[in-house]
């Protein structure tokens, strides 16, 4: 099952250059090229957003990791594993 897209604006016609043989094979197999391109682009956008978030929060993550290394995990004494 596909996750709903976070992009809900109306669709915009866009020109995309793809290898002709790939498009023909997709058509032969009944693949909707527009939907397949949208799914692939959505995946890449999510990946890039995740990398962007990591870069923007790198300092905070490193600070937290340092704190945990020095002090241990909060509430660690309550862990049952």
The pLDDT value recorded for residue 9 is 86
Mean pLDDT of 36-62: 97
Distance linking the first and last C-alpha atoms of the chain: 33
Q: Is residue 14 part of a domain?
A: no
Q: Is residue 63 part of a domain?
A: yes
Q: Could you report the per-residue pLDDT of 16-26, keeping only the tens digit for each?
A: 999 999 999 99
Q: Is residue 9 part of a domain?
A: no
- Rounded to two decimals, the pTM is 0.70
The pLDDT value recorded for residue 32 is 97
Contacts of 26 (CB under 8 A, 6+ apart): 33, 36
Q: Is residue 3 part of a domain?
A: no
Domain ranges, residue 62: 25-70
Q: Is residue 60 part of a domain?
A: yes
Q: How many domains, in total, are found in the chain?
A: 1
Task: Examine the pLDDT at 48 and tell me if it is beyond 80.
Answer: yes
> Mapping DSSP to helix (H, G, I), strand (E, B) and coil, where does residue 63 land?
helix
The mean pLDDT of the chain is: 92
Higher pLDDT pick, 15 / 76: 15
């Amino acid at each position: 099952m596909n996750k709903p897209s976070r992009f809900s604006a109306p669709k915009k016609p866009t020109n995309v250059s793809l290898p002709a043989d790939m498009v023909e094979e997709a058509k032969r197999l009944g693949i909707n090229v527009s939907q397949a391109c949208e799914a692939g682009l959505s995946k890449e956008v999510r990946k890039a957003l995740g990398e962007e978030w990591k870069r923007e929060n790198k300092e905070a993550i490193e600070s937290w990791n340092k704190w945990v290394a020095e002090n241990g995990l909060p509430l660690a004494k309550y862990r049952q594993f």
